[in-house]
């Protein structure tokens, strides 16, 4: 055994390594990034599985699927919205008879600390009818990885392990196993199990449906789904899940004092899916009302209404005992339990209202200069036309901070790669000057296909690729291809050579770059401007590495 202090993400990573994973793939996205970073770092220093960043979550999932088909254990990591990108292979893989264990770790971001949505991955697991594990702490995150691989192989299904921001990014002590598992088998899956031709897919779908009863039986027997009954308490029973359990436990001493040891409600902790129906029914038999304390959307609460229709009053996020949006915390759970608000030191001091401090680009960031050029061009164009004739769509990355003052340069941020399609849509709708702003990594992730569409329809748009040579926002992971290849890709898609402009995003070239933007904006076809300058943080890390390499 080994004692370590790890982030939740690192515990997942080490759990996968110790479970004998052979291939690990992912796309960076907060709060999941540290999982693959930890594995890549471990491999660099002491060897281990193949660990690679991929162009996007879909290609990462597909690569992991290939490892599984070859008979070895595979891990794929992403943030919650990344699963939207990987949804096609994910959903279809649930119909394949998984060979080597396949675990997809998805980190949800309730409260949207660094995300554009609050979606809850449990709905995807339910949609695909696959098991999902939900650790409450770092130790469980570590241990559940091995269990998830075993369940994946036993029932030949992909398994999701759901993390959330607070668990991914907090550190705790964990104990690891002594003997990591070695994965040496190389034995392909059967083609009939992996070719989703309609006739075969129908059979596989029937198999998947047949597995559901077994999976529910497993979930009923799974010792992590713990049920503690108190038939004496007839008014209330509680279900906890994920971090909801931690917040309940934080209030347990006060709650016990309030209820008395013998007056505590029956409680079921749900550690994963499918839901343990027998345990839920046993709980429902004890009390009139069930309070559900779960992190994320009211998934279990919603399921209960179908599983035990009309039998109990189900309370939680739909009924207002807990907030419908955002993360839970000890205080919100405390209020749901009917405990008085806890006094803190802040109640006895008066704290002046502090001014808001919205996030900003780093001082000297190349995006600032690019946006300054774009803002000048937009102003000139609108003045010339005598009305608002410009649209500036943008994308996900550091450059999304161009939305806030003082730049206020962009008008939309929807999802990875959307800027190009949206600029094209706005141009088709009638806006004369449509600009799509996208980073180099986001362009490779899912911008290329939007550009293909625009080229095919010859829609007058100007795409601005902000090339800072790194995936900056998530901590400077490498882009999949070097900047030098962007030009070839853009030309290969069909953008005309004279309308591909490559400029330096330097402060002394702001006026020159404004002129380039104005020239290309007038072109009534697809133009691309690549604005190049290395991210400051990436430059700092590069120089540090070079200094170490040079001794």
Residues of this chain that interact with ligand SF4 (CB under 6 A) are 361-362, 365, 367, 398, 468, 472, 535-537
Number of DSSP helices (H) and strands (E) in the chain, helices first: 22, 20
Q: Which is nearer to ligand SF4, 64 or 465 (CB)?
A: 465
Q: Which is nearer to ligand SF4, 254 or 537 (CB)?
A: 537
Q: Which is nearer to ligand SF4, 267 or 535 (CB)?
A: 535
Are the C-beta atoms of residues 93 and 189 closer than 8 Å to each other? no
- In angstroms, rounded to a whole number, what is the distance separating the alpha carbons of residues 268 and 122? 18
By residue count, the chain amounts to 551
User: Is it true that the peptide bond before 406 is cis, omega within 30 degrees of 0?
Assistant: yes
> Rg of the chain over CA atoms, in angstroms?
26
Are the C-beta atoms of residues 58 and 85 closer than 8 Å to each other? yes
Q: Which is nearer to ligand SF4, 361 or 516 (CB)?
A: 361
For residue 70, how many C-alpha atoms fall within 13 Å in the half-sphere facing its CB?
Answer: 15
DSSP 197: -
Are the C-beta atoms of residues 386 and 418 closer than 8 Å to each other? no
CB of 470: closest distance to ligand SF4 in angstroms?
Answer: 7
Q: Which is nearer to ligand SF4, 236 or 535 (CB)?
A: 535
Give the residue from 399, 360, 430 showing the smallest Cα distance to 419. Answer: 399
CB of 361: closest distance to ligand SF4 in angstroms?
Answer: 4
CB of 278: closest distance to ligand SF4 in angstroms?
Answer: 51
Q: Which is nearer to ligand SF4, 339 or 362 (CB)?
A: 362
DSSP 444: I
For residue 397, how many C-alpha atoms fall within 13 Å in the half-sphere facing its CB?
Answer: 33
Question: Which residue shows structure tokens 């207002």?
Answer: 320
CB of 469: closest distance to ligand SF4 in angstroms?
Answer: 10
CB atoms within 10 A of CB 267: 22
Q: Is 79 helix (H, G, I), strand (E, B) or coil?
A: strand
Are the C-beta atoms of residues 469 and 494 closer than 8 Å to each other? no
Q: Which is nearer to ligand SF4, 239 or 472 (CB)?
A: 472
Q: Which is nearer to ligand SF4, 154 or 542 (CB)?
A: 542
CB of 359: closest distance to ligand SF4 in angstroms?
Answer: 9
- In angstroms, rounded to a whole number, what is the distance separating the alpha carbons of residues 236 and 160? 31
Q: Which is nearer to ligand SF4, 264 or 396 (CB)?
A: 396
- In angstroms, rounded to a whole number, what is the distance separating the alpha carbons of residues 245 and 283? 16
Q: Which is nearer to ligand SF4, 80 or 368 (CB)?
A: 368
User: Which tokens is 95 given?
Assistant: 């119909």
CB of 547: closest distance to ligand SF4 in angstroms?
Answer: 19
User: Which tokens is 302 given?
Assistant: 């919603």
C-alpha to C-alpha distances, 407 to 24, 386, 418, nearest whole angstrom:
39, 22, 21
What is the greatest pairwise CA distance in the chain? 80
Q: 502: which strand partners?
A: 530
Distance from chain centroid for Cα 341: 33
């Amino acid at each position: 055994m080994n004692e370590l202090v790890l982030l939740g993400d690192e515990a997942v990573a080490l759990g996968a390594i110790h479970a004998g994973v052979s291939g690990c793939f992912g796309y960076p996205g907060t709060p999941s990034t540290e999982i693959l970073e930890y594995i890549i770092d471990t491999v660099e220093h002491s060897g281990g599985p193949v660990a690679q960043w991929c162009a996007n979550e879909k290609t990462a999932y597909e690569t992991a699927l290939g490892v599984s088909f070859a008979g070895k254990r595979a891990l794929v990591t992403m943030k919650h919205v990344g699963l939207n990108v990987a949804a096609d292979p994910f959903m279809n893989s649930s119909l394949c008879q998984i060979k080597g264990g396949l675990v997809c770790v998805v980190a949800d971001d309730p409260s949207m600390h660094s995300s554009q949505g609050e979606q809850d991955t449990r709905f995807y697991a339910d949609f695909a009818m696959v098991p999902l594990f939900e650790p409450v702490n770092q130790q469980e995150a570590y241990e559940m990885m091995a269990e998830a691989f075993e369940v994946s192989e036993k029932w030949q299904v992909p398994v999701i392990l759901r993390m959330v921001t607070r668990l991914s990014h907090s550190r705790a002590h964990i104990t690891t196993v002594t003997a990591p598992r070695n994965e040496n088998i190389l034995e392909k899956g059967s083609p009939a199990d992996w070719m989703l031709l309609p006739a075969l897919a129908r059979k596989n779908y029937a198999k998947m449906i047949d597995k559901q009863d077994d999976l529910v039986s497993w979930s009923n027997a799974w010792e992590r789904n713990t049920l503690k009954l108190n038939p004496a308490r007839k008014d209330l029973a509680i279900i906890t899940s994920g971090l909801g359990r931690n917040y309940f436990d934080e209030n347990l001493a006060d709650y016990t004092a309030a209820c008395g040891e013998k007056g505590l409600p029956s409680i079921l902790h749900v550690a994963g899916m499918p839901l343990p129906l027998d345990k839920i029914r046993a709980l429902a038999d004890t009390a009139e009302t069930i309070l559900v304390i779960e992190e994320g959307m009211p998934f279990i609460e919603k399921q209960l209404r179908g599983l035990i229709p009309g039998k109990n009053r189900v309370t939680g996020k739909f009924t207002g005992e807990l907030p419908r949006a955002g993360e839970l915390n000890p205080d919100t759970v405390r209020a749901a339990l009917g405990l008085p608000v806890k006094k803190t030191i802040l109640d006895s001091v008066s704290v002046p209202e502090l001014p808001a401090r919205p996030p900003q680009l780093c001082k000297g960031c190349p995006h600032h200069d690019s946006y300054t050029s774009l803002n000048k061009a937009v102003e000139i164009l609108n003045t010339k036309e005598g009305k608002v004739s410009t649209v500036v769509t943008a994308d996900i990355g550091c450059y999304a901070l161009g939305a806030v003052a003082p730049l206020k340069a962009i008008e939309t941020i929807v999802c990875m790669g959307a800027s190009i399609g949206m600029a094209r849509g706005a141009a088709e709708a009638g806006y004369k000057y449509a600009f799509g702003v996208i980073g180099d990594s986001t362009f490779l992730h899912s911008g290329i296909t939007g550009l293909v569409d625009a080229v095919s329809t010859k829609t007058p748009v100007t795409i601005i690729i902000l090339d800072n040579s790194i995936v900056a926002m998530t901590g400077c992971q490498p882009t999949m291809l070097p900047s030098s290849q962007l030009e070839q890709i853009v030309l290969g898609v069909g953008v005309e050579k004279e309308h591909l402009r490559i400029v330096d995003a330097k402060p002394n070239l702001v006026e020159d770059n404004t002129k380039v933007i104005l020239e290309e904006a007038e072109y009534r076809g697809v133009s691309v401007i690549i604005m190049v300058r290395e991210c400051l943080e990436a430059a700092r890390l590069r120089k540090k590495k070079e200094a170490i390499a040079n001794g």
